[in-house]
Amino acid sequence: MTNGFVRRYIFSTDHKIIGIQYILTGLIMAIVGAWLAVLIRLQLGWPEHQWVFLSRLLPKGMPSGVMTPEFYLAVVTMHGTIMVFFFISYVLVSGFGNYLVPLQVGARDMAFPFLNMLSYWIALLSAVVMVLSFFVEGGAAAAGWTAYPPLSAVASAVPGSQMGQTLWILSMALFIASFTMSGLNIVATVFSTRAPGLSMMRLPLTVWSFFIASILGLLAFPPLTAGAVMLLFDRHFGTSFFLPSGLVVAGKLLPNTGGSPLLWQHLFWFLGHPEVYVLILPALGIAFDILPAFTRKPVFGYRISVWCLVAVGCLSMIVWGHHMFVSGMSPFTGEYFSLVTLTITVPMTIFGVNMLASLWGAKLELRTPMLFALSVIAMFGSGGFGGLFLGNATADMQLHDTYFVVGHFHMMIGGVTLLATFAAIYFWFPKMFGRTMNETLGRLHFWFTFGPFFVIFFMQHFLGLQGAPRRYYAFTAFDYLRDTRGQNLAISIAALLLVSGQLLFLVNFVWSLFGGLAAKANPWQATTLEWTTASPPPHGNFETQPVVERWAYEYGVQTTDGDFAVQTVPARNVPVTA
């Protein structure tokens, strides 16, 4: 291509550019998702208030300024879909996965750079299709991010199940294609392109977490693809894969016979459960790796942490039924799913305790990335407790589809991943752009993120205990929920605070991009391979092929650089501890 700019920054095959493209796309989608969250909270906090300015903006969804129930369902659906698939997946898994994996394994690029570029452009197309579905007849999909049939399969069931649901399925198909390409690339890169000396047990935990997350994605997404194809057939070609006999929708008996909506739930959750680990494992890996740069001591229990990630990855494939305890499954099946689900707490607790033990006896440097990494531990521990209740079939009967579930999964795949995403952005921003982000704004942003986030979703657990069901657009019609009015108001105010706090981040991000202080090659004095090259790294990453001599956590030793040894420092200069 003649135009150098286009070749270098738009249609680039460089994994660093593609990673940054993913991150920027994900952040833009996060703004869309956050805007939808604001609409949800305005509705729940002030159920009958007339928002006149919003009625001008959204004449169909909010005529006279009050949201219609159908529009609320579409907003909830799209908020979930966008945040899970188009924000966290793009920024954390695809974005940082692309950026960090080749650098941290000492490779010049991904194994297959062209496929990598293709995966980004398909991902972008998928995001565009998803956002465009707001503007078609009937509006965006409204069957929840889980798209349960019959709601999602019958066009007359809800306005969003017309064109919007079809676009939702197409967008997900594109997403899966793109995620498969990117996952294949990461797996092949980790297997085949590690630098000499970089054995699997010397990989930074970040790489391990991307590696396992990619494998999980490759194993879990295909059955959902199968389900999506069948749903598309049910919607457009008259099949009854998910539609039972005798279904009456909008006063009309449907001609379908013999299908089962539960089949969709099995296919969906066979993906859905591993998918949450696809998101949370990189978050944990990143937090685990950021800690030692600010404690200046080796992490605790690296090897056992690796095996914990592997164990969680394996277990996550066989626990999907815990999302379906109320679907009428046999109590024995429920018992099995409870048992394996609660088994996950063992490796996860070991991992959490390893992170805590990594802090033991250290003098903590509370820089912005460290604050976010610490808050990952806090959020992970607190959110994890809710999982103990939900994994129990008996307790789940009561808590299923209440705000307890909403609070739990927002803390885990919302909070842990969001905080880790910010930790990663603050930590690797100097490497990506050669500039440093503002520390004061960063710390302020931390408190405006962690504080309100924790308050919102901690309180939602209690709403759930009181029996408030999720996805309802107002609680005004129920006597037993009248008292929750004040709680919903408080949550809404905290949510607005959280969203406005993100403006600090946007300002900091944009301002630092152009006016931040120039960053050194290794501003945090960290040990992994990406810090041995310039900030930002040149095309091809390393001037000479790095040769790895030690593990990724050589802190607290005496070298000419300071109290750490990067992975390439020869063993004859500094003794190798692991």
Residues 73-112 that bind other proteins (CB under 8 A): 106, 111-112
Query: How many Å apart are CA 281 and CA 412, to the nearest integer?
Result: 11
Stretch that binds other proteins, among 8-16, 249-257, 305-313, 523-531 (CB under 8 A): 249-257
DSSP 8-state assignment for residue 469: B
**CB-CB contact of 411 with 383 (8 Å):** yes
Is the backbone of residue 51 left (phi > 0), alpha (psi -120 to 50) or beta? beta
Question: Rounded to the nearest 10 degrees, what angle do helices 205-236 and 163-192 cross at?
Answer: 150
Among 81, 94, 178, 185, binds other proteins (CB under 8 A): 185
- Nearer residue to other proteins within complex by CB, 263 or 342: 263
Segment contacting other proteins (CB under 8 A): 9-17, 85-93, 255-263, 324-332? 255-263
| Residue 327 binds other proteins, judged by CB under 8 A | no
Cα 555-557-558 angle, rounded to 5 deg: 135
170-200: b or e for each residue (b if 16 or more CB lie within 10 Å)?
A: bbbbbbbbbbbbbbbbbbebbeebbbeebee
Among 59, 258, 562, 570, binds other proteins (CB under 8 A): 258
Q: Is 148 in the site for other proteins (CB under 8 A)?
A: no
Asked if residues 106 and 546 have their Cβ atoms less than 8 Å apart, the reply is yes
- Part of the chain binding other proteins (CB under 8 A), chosen from 186-194, 420-428, 461-469, 483-491: 186-194
Q: Distance (Å, rounded) from C-alpha 464 to C-alpha 334?
A: 22
Q: Which is nearer to other proteins, 201 or 517 (CB)?
A: 201
200 binds other proteins (CB under 8 A): yes
Which range touches other proteins (CB under 8 A), out of 48-56, 150-158, 179-187, 371-379?
179-187
Q: Which of 50, 156, 257, 349 binds other proteins (CB under 8 A)?
A: 257
Pick 41 or 194: Cβ nearer other proteins: 194
**Region class of 128: left (phi > 0), else alpha (psi between -120 and 50), else beta:** alpha
Segment interacting with other proteins, rule: CB under 8 A, options 123-131, 263-271, 344-352, 492-500: 263-271
Residue tagged 């930002």 (tokens): 536
Q: Integer distance in angstroms from the first to the last C-alpha of the chain?
A: 47
Window 105-144: residues binding other proteins (CB under 8 A)? 106, 111-112
Tokens representing 335 are 């018992």
Identify which range of 121-129, 180-188, 335-343, 448-456 contacts other proteins by CB under 8 A.
180-188
Q: Which of 71, 72, 86, 221 binds other proteins (CB under 8 A)?
A: 221
Member of 50, 156, 192, 476 binding other proteins (CB under 8 A): 192
**DSSP letter assigned to residue 66:** S
Catalog residues that contact other proteins under the rule CB under 8 A: 106, 111-112, 180, 183-185, 187-189, 191-200, 202, 218-219, 221-227, 229-230, 233, 237-241, 255-260, 263, 266-267, 270, 548
